[in-house]
Amino acid sequence: MIPGRMSNSQTSAQIRPVDRAFFARDPRRVARELLGKVLVRREAVRQEAVQPGVGQIAGKRASNRRLTARIVEVEAYLGQEDPAAHAAAGLTARNAVLFGPPGHAYVYFIYGNHYCLNVSCEPEGQAGSVLFRALEPLSGLEAMAQARSIEIHGPGDVRKLTSGPGRLAEAFDITRARDNGCDLTSAAGALWLGDDGYPAGRILVTPRVGITKAPDWLLRFVLADNPFVSGKRMSRITAAA
DNA sequence: ATATCGATTATCT
DNA sequence: GATAATCGATATG
C-alpha cells in the first residue's frame, strides 16, 4: 500500500514523445526545457510474484505496468570543452553514445554501485548531454518501490524512490546492458521521454553536484520548490497523523 | 539535524 | 593503482 503523496503534478492522460530536434541543441537549453517533461518506462521489467493466501484474491500485479515520473532536476554536460564531462578526453568505448545522434540514452556505471541516465544532445559528432538527477513519481509507484527494494510507509518515503540519479535509475530498472544507446524519442521503445503539457514554472540554476572539475559552472537546473529535488530537505514533509 | 565513511567496479593513468 | 556525474548506514550534537 502506498499512502497519498504530496504532489503538485497532475497525471495527464496524453503523453506525446519529445522529438529528436528537441535534443539536437545546446545541452543547457535542452536541460532547462526537459524540466516538467516525463520519463516513461513502457513496461516494468520486474513482476510481482503474488502468492494469495487461502481464500484471498491475488494482488494488483497486472496494473501499473507503465512507469512514469516528472523530471524535476537535471544537469547539463557540454562535451569535449567541459572538464567534468565523460566526453572531455574524446571518444572511447564507454562514452561512444555521447558522440552519436541526439535523443539517445547514455547509461554509465559509477562508484561500483549505481547506474546513471543521460540523454545525448547536439547534432551527431558533438558530445553534449543531460544527466537526469531527480524525478517526481506519477504512476507505477509500487513497481518502483519493488525495484528499489524499499517499502513506502508515508509521503516522505516516496521521495526515496527517484530523488537522486542512482535512485531513479534503480527505480526504472535502467542498466547499461539494457538501455545504453536506446532511442528515447519513440513511444514504441522500452524507455522514452514525453510531454504531457505540464507547465514547468519557476526554475533555479545552481552548480553541479558531486564533481571535482569545473565545480562552479552553473549547469544544474531544478524546479523551484519541488519536494522531489535531490539532496537534504530543510523542512520535512509533515505527515498527517 | 549534520558529518563521516564503506561498498564495489568500470575506466583510465 | 586511483578515482568516480552516489547511496545508505552509522555516529554524534
Residue type for A140, please?
G
* pLDDT tens-digit series, residues A55-114: 555 555 545 689 999 999 999 999 999 999 999 999 999 999 999 999 999 999 999 999
Only one residue has cell 540514452, namely A105
User: For residue A192, is pLDDT > 80?
Assistant: yes
Provide the CA A187 to C1' B6 distance, Å, integer.
40
Instruction: Indicate the pTM of the whole model.
Output: 0.90
The reply to whether A47 has its C-beta less than 7 Å from any atom of strand B is no
Question: For the residues A218-239, what does the mean pLDDT come to?
Answer: 78
For residue A59, give every residue at least 6 positions away whose Cβ sits within 8 Å of its Cβ, in sequence order, or none. Answer: A48, A50, A52
A49 burial type by CB count under 10 A (0-12 exposed, 13-18 middle, 19+ buried): exposed
Half-sphere exposure for A125 (CA within 13 Å, toward CB)? 1
Q: How far is the CA of A179 from the C1' of B12 (A)?
A: 23
Which of the pair, A198 or A241, is modelled with greater confidence? A198
Cα A172 to Cα A127: distance, rounded to the nearest angstrom? 24
Mean pLDDT (chain A, rounded): 89
The answer to whether residue A6 scores a pLDDT higher than 80 is no
pLDDT in tens, A135-165: 999 999 999 999 999 999 988 899 999 999 9
Determine the nucleotide nearest to A109 by Cα–C1' distance: B10
Strand B proximal to A32 Cβ, under 7 A: no
Residue A60: predicted pLDDT: 52
Q: Is the Cβ atom of A95 within 7 Å of strand B at any atom?
A: yes
Give, in Å, how far the C1' of C2 lies from the CA of A212. 15
CA of A58 to C1' of C5 (A): 42
Partners of A38 in the β-ladder: A70, A194
Q: What is the pLDDT of residue A239?
A: 33
